[in-house]
């Protein structure tokens, strides 16, 4: 009976397994993916961003706009009277999320309900930048046009 020794092959692939594990761990715990969000268009000029922020209170979330960007961050408050955890499966991690705002889009409000943070936005284009309809004139002289109306 013939036996095979797989240990040299195992030692050869082990560094690649470690690299794969490190890469997977780095991607899996990347803070930029948390919290997940949806972007909705509610009508022609209104939009909203819905972020999934389970376990966060209103006092633990801050929002600000600067440089045409919306910054949303969450920091969990430390509870000094917390229980002793036997197992902790719900992550309590901080987050920072940045959304680039298009020109003429402004944040109008936000609400936190059932673990979802909904941020309302409106597109407000100034009057001088809005499209206007231009009337096309026919090759007629204005004097003739007035004379026809008078007759």
Q: What is the CATH number of the domain that holds 113?
A: 2.60.40.790
The DSSP secondary-structure symbol of 59 reads G
**pTM across the whole model:** 0.62
pLDDT (mean) for 64-81: 86
- Model confidence at 135, in pLDDT bands (50, 70, 90)? confident
Q: What's the confidence (pLDDT) of residue 61? A: 95
Query: What digits encode the pLDDT tens for the residues 13-32?
Result: 444 444 445 444 433 333 45
pLDDT (mean) for 124-138: 84
Q: Is the pLDDT of residue 140 over 80?
A: no
Number of domains the chain is built from:
1
Is the distance from CB of 40 to CB of 48 less than 8 angstroms? yes
**Overall size of the chain counted in residues:** 151
Q: What's the confidence (pLDDT) of residue 133? A: 86
Query: Considering the domain boundaries, does residue 137 fall inside one?
Result: no
H helices present in 39-129, as ranges = none
Residue 46 domain boundaries: 33-78+92-127
């Amino acid at each position: 009976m013939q036996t095979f020794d797989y240990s040299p092959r195992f030692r050869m692939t082990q560094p690649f397994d470690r690299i794969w594990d490190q890469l997977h761990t780095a991607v899996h715990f990347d803070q930029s993916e948390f919290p997940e969000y949806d972007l909705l268009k509610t009508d022609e000029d209104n939009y909203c961003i819905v972020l999934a922020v389970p376990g966060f209170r209103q006092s633990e979330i801050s929002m600000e706009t600067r440089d045409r960007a919306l910054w949303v961050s969450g920091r969990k408050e430390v509870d000094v009277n917390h229980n002793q955890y036997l197992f902790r499966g719900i992550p309590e991690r901080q987050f920072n999320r940045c959304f680039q705002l298009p020109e003429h889009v402004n944040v109008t409000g936000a609400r936190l309900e059932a673990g979802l943070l909904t941020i309302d936005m409106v597109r407000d284009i100034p009057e001088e930048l809005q499209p206007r309809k231009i009337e096309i004139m026919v090759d007629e002289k204005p004097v003739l046009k007035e004379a026809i109306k008078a007759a």
